[in-house]
Structure 1
Amino acid sequence: MKKFFEDIKKDMKFKSAGPGKKLTEESSSRPEASQAAHSKGASRKAPTKGAQMAGAAALARIEQQPRPKVQTSQDAIRNQVKRELEAEAAAVAASQKNTDIEGSGVPQKDPSCFSVAGVFFICPLTGKTLTKTEREMHIKEAILMRFSEDVMEASVMMIHTFNKDKEKVKAAIDIISKYIENICKNPTEEKYRKIKLSNKVFQEKVSVIEGSREYLQALGFESTALPVDGEDRTEEYLVLPPQEPDALEQIKVDLELLQKGEPIRAKLDRQPQVFRPSQNATNFELPPDFYNLTAEELKKEMQLKNEIVERNAMLRTKAMREKDEQRERRKHNYALLRVRLPDGNILQGTFLAWEKVTALYQFVRDSLENGWQPFELVVPGGQKLKDDEEFALNECNLAPAALLIFSWDAAVLSDIAAAGGKTDVLLKAALLENIKSMS
């Protein structure tokens, strides 16, 4: 359009210049020709005001049109990744109905195809094997049942286990400790043996902690209504009767029990399993329990991939890279680890993703017939893990699953061979009794 209007302008200028002439013609004819041309041009109508405005608007629109952007190879890559992510997001949305979202977003599969049945825990109070969803309620019930056997021990367990906020628990214990210390220092002072339940500090710091009332009652405090001075009413107190010296010493012991108490937590069941030699040792099918992704986090995975594309296009500091690695590690709660032994058999166990490497070594050592004999574990890639390694399993890229290679310490093995010893049997008989073939 712009060229079109420019051509019109040139044409008008050309015509207004008059007819052409030869270079040999006299200059006297120039005014006449010019006058004739001018008279012809006068007969042409000038554009109307509306036409001029329309033309000006058209030129303005042309000037404002953006020039086409030349697409770089990086732009092409980003567009391709974007299309793939959109397609993947659509696929996830379409399969959402067939997805088992127990905090993972892993599609439902036949349980028999999994490398392990799931993640299980053992209650330290009852010894019962529990699933992830059963453990908390079962432990609470076990602690409450404990009151029929030992009220003091059960109340301490209750305080440390039922309350999740450690800072609030510590604050309550500090106040209770102050109560007891004042009583022990001033055993004959009645005021130190009384706790007003309406007291602001007690209400905000102590009574809000589950198990605190039970603990004080286990110490010997009794609920008592005492008259209010100058008023015709009573207030509820917890009152500790006068104590003999021996009883005061026992109270000190019970206070120490509270101060050193720890939450009762279900212990992860390693589920040790031995498999016969197999080429499928590196094939893992993990159940949903192994993943730490909620349904909402699963949706955000697509957004994170977009961010990766952007991050790869810019320089990042070491701190930024470490933060990304930590976020990646947090996706997995557990690690299923296999150790290929010299005889070809494979030892398998389940671990918390943030457990130290020493826990893996201890698991293998406890499974060996000769646990005293030094050995080494080699991770994929050929790097040796040290027995005293302070790194977590997920920091060593062993989560959510990995196959490691076992080897005896060469120097010790040669000494045993020189002495005529043998290490034919590697694992304990109890493990070999349940050996399976890997599917």
Structure 2
Amino acid sequence: MKKFFDEIKKDIKFKSAGPGKKLADDGSSKPQTVQSSGHAKPRHVTPTEGAQMAGAAALARIEGQSRPWVQSSQDTIRLQVKRELEAEASALEITGKERKATIEGSYVKDPAFLSVKGVYFTCPLTGATLTKGEREVHIKEAILMRFEEDAVEASVMMIHTFNKDREKVKAAVDIISKYIENICKNPTEEKYRKIKLSNKVFQEKVKTVEGSREFLEAVGFQSIMLDVDGQEETEEFLVLMEHEPEALELMKERRGRLQRGEPVRAQLDRQPQAFRPSPNAMRFELPPEFYNLTADELKKEQQLKTEAVDRNAMLRTKAMREREEQRERRKYNYTLLRVRLPDGNILQGTFLAWDKVSVLFEFVRQSLVDGWQPFELVAPGGHKLREDQEVALNECSLVPAVLLTFTWDAAVQADIAAAGGKGPTLLQPELLEKIQTLN
């Protein structure tokens, strides 16, 4: 069988070489036309390297298959081989043009073609723009630098930001608050002004929380080695020297700052962009940061997609459908939303998947010159969003990327027109100055 296909390959190669000529012929003379009883074939183009590789793979596969012998003409077999070659070459050419991604079964092209380059954040302390991987280190450095300006504020930030376990933070804050409360209530009692660092409660509840000692020192406690009854060696204490009544009031204020403290978090940079009218408005290419999936989960996505066909063929209860919708929503960390304006221009912004609908309205309002006027946003399918909706974007199926339609309130615009007013101005000048064309 292998020998038989070798003969076929030689025959195809020989016939595709084109008309021959005599060795004695002059190179400038015209080649003789070869007469054939069949139809004239188009001039053969030398296959590309990819097509040759695909053809070799197809022949290797055919040769490796054990098939029962079926009598057939050589022309039929040649046609079968030719179809295999063309199919493999076509598949290879498509793969070369686009790199298939495991996310959502979509095709991720060159980074230059992404709808947004990535997800970025803004540090509230420095205003720096950061990537997801940079934000934590940058914020820690910014907090530590703040000790030079306000040690109390910096230590409060440390306690609430550097420690992820909120229960431990609350326990430490409660104990430190109790230290200060006892001092303020009993300003002359020396025992309340001393904290023994080897104390079990301090060791387990306060010391383990980063920033707690820095706060105590910022409000006036000093490290002192003191004698302990029944011990030969001294021990370390944090001691607060006597203060005037005014100083005690200041301590109460600082305790309040500690209790009201919140973690310092980088804020999502919405990266507002404006685009000219484009038929590509519904085309989205998202980077991996938008998906709340691990590498292994991404690989399973394709399998789940194929299984979904079988599931959809089954009769499912409403509860089953709702559970599947909830799992689908949780797959996304962020969403890229576009709003098509009445003049055709497109406004784009990045949002957290759990941002409320009101956050989207506020973003659009701030991007417009006449944002004070009432307007509507219409989701795909004709569903109108309401600005007062306290519903997350993912709960409205506005993930991971959606094109919305913007319309002014018709009644308000009619009143403005009747009064002789002009139509509203749309995008802010700073957005129009940087308007781009969608790829």
- TM-score, length-normalised on structure 1? 0.74
Change (3 A) 1:304 1:237: farther
Alpha carbons of structure 1 residues 200 and 375: separation in structure 2 relative to 1, 3 Å: same
Shift of 1:104: 10
CA shift for structure 1 position 436: 1.0
Cα distance in 1 between the residues matched to 2:319 and 2:187: 57
Which residue pairs with 2:351 in the alignment? 351
Matched position secondary structure for 1:398: coil
Distance 1:325 1:102, change over 3 A: closer
- Quick check: 2:102–2:298 contact (8 Å CA) kept in 1? no
* Matched letter for residue 373 of structure 1: Q
User: Could you tell me how far 1:320 is from its partner in structure 2?
Assistant: 4.3
Over the aligned positions, Cα root-mean-square deviation in angstroms equals: 2.6
User: Is the 2:273–2:349 Cα contact (8 Å) retained in structure 1?
Assistant: yes
Indicate the structure (1 or 2) with the bigger Cα radius of gyration: 1
Partner of 1:259: 259
Shift of 1:324: 2.6
User: What is the letter of the counterpart of residue 245 of structure 1?
Assistant: P
The residue type paired with residue 411 of structure 1 is A
Q: Note the alpha carbon deviations across 1:370-416, whole angstroms, 9 max, x for none.
A: 11100000000001000111111111111110000000001100001
The answer to whether the Cα contact below 8 Å between 1:105 and 1:298 also exists between their aligned partners in 2 is no
Measured after TM superposition, the shift of residue 337 of structure 1 is 0.5
Bigger relative contact order, structure 1 or 2 (CA pairs below 8 A, ≥6 apart) = 1
**Percentage of pairs with the same residue:** 71
Structure 2 counterpart of 1:418: 418
Partner of 2:171: helix, strand, or coil? helix
Find the counterpart in structure 2 of residue 327 from structure 1: 327
In the TM superposition, what is the alpha-carbon distance from 1:101 to its structure 2 partner? 10
Q: 1:232-381 alignment to 2 at 5 Å?
A: 232-301=232-301, 304=304, 308=308, 318-381=318-381
> Residue 160 of structure 1 corresponds to which residue in structure 2?
160
What corresponds to 1:388 in structure 2? 388
Q: Distance in 2 between matches of 1:315 and 1:200?
A: 60
Which whole-Å CA distance do the structure 2 matches of 1:204 and 1:275 have between them?
56
SS at 2:274 equivalent: strand
The one-letter code matched in structure 1 to 2:378 is V
TM-superposed deviation, 1:348: 0.6
Matched with 2:180 is 180
State the alpha-carbon separation in 2 of the partners of residues 309 and 163 from structure 1. 45
Q: 1:259 to 1:412 in 2, by over 3 A?
A: same
Which residues in structure 2 correspond to 1:80-119 (within 5 Å)? 109-119=109-119
Amino acid at match of 1:354: W
- Tell me, in whole angstroms, the C-alpha distance in 2 between the residues paired with 1:101 and 1:140: 35
**CA offset at residue 325 of structure 1?**
2.0
How has the CA–CA distance of structure 1 residues 135 and 99 changed in structure 2, closer, same or farther, with 3 Å as cutoff? farther
**Counterpart mapping for 1:216-227 below 5 A:** 216-227=216-227
The answer for the alignment partner of 2:138 in structure 1 is: 138
Q: What 5-or-longer segments of structure 1 have no aligned partner?
A: 1-93
What amino acid maps onto 2:333 in structure 1?
Answer: N
Measure, in 2, the Cα distance between the counterparts of 1:257 and 1:377. Answer: 41
2:79 corresponding residue in structure 1: none
Alpha-carbon contact 1:274-1:434 (below 8 Å) kept = yes
CA distance in 2, matches of 1:105, 1:187: 68
Structure 2's unaligned 5+ residue stretches are: 1-94
2 CA distance for matches of 1:429 and 1:261? 38
Give the superposition deviation at 1:340.
0.5
Name the amino acid aligned to 2:402: A
Per residue, is there more helix in 1 or in 2? Answer: 1
Distance 2:144 2:104 in 1: 32
User: Residue type matched to 1:239 in 2?
Assistant: V
Give the secondary-structure state (helix, strand or coil) at the position aligned to 1:360: helix
> 1:185–1:326: structure 2 CA closer, same or farther, 3 Å change rule?
same
Retained in 2: the 8 A contact 1:122–1:267?
yes
Judged with a 3 Å threshold, the aligned counterparts in structure 2 of structure 1 residues 332 and 220 are, in CA distance, closer, same or farther, namely same
- The corresponding residue for 2:194 is 194
* Offset of residue 218 of structure 1: 0.3
Give the conservation status (yes or no) of the 8 Å contact 1:104–1:289: no
1:147 alignment partner, SS class: helix
- Following the alignment from structure 2 to structure 1, what is the Cα–Cα distance between the partners of residues 114 and 391? 28
For residues 327-384 of structure 1, give each alpha carbon's deviation from its aligned partner in whole angstroms, at most 9, with x where no partner exists.
2111111111000010111111110111000000000000111111000000000010
CA contact (8 A) 2:102 2:302 kept: no
Q: Is the 8 A contact 2:338 2:347 kept in 1?
A: yes
Say which SS state the counterpart of residue 395 (structure 1) adopts: helix
Cα distance, 1:293 vs structure 2: 1.1
The 1:166/1:102 distance shift into structure 2, 3 A limit, reads farther
Change (3 A) 1:200 1:317: farther
In the aligned structure 2, how far is the partner of 1:420 from the partner of 1:433? 29
Q: Please tell me whether residue 169 in structure 1 is matched to residue 149 in structure 2.
A: no
How far the C-alpha of 1:231 sits from its partner, in A, is: 2.1
Contact kept, 8 Å, 1:102 with 1:288, in 2: the verdict is no
Instruction: From the superposition, tell whether residues 373 and 208 of structure 1 become closer, same or farther in structure 2 (CA, over 3 Å).
Output: same
**Could you tell me which amino acid in structure 1 is paired with residue 278 of structure 2?**
S
Cα distance, 1:323 vs. partner?
3.1
Residue identity opposite 2:280 in structure 1 = N
TM-score (norm 2): 0.74
Q: Distance in 2 between matches of 1:285 and 1:310?
A: 28
SS of the residue corresponding to residue 169 of structure 1 reads helix
Change beyond 3 A, Cα 1:432–1:225:
same
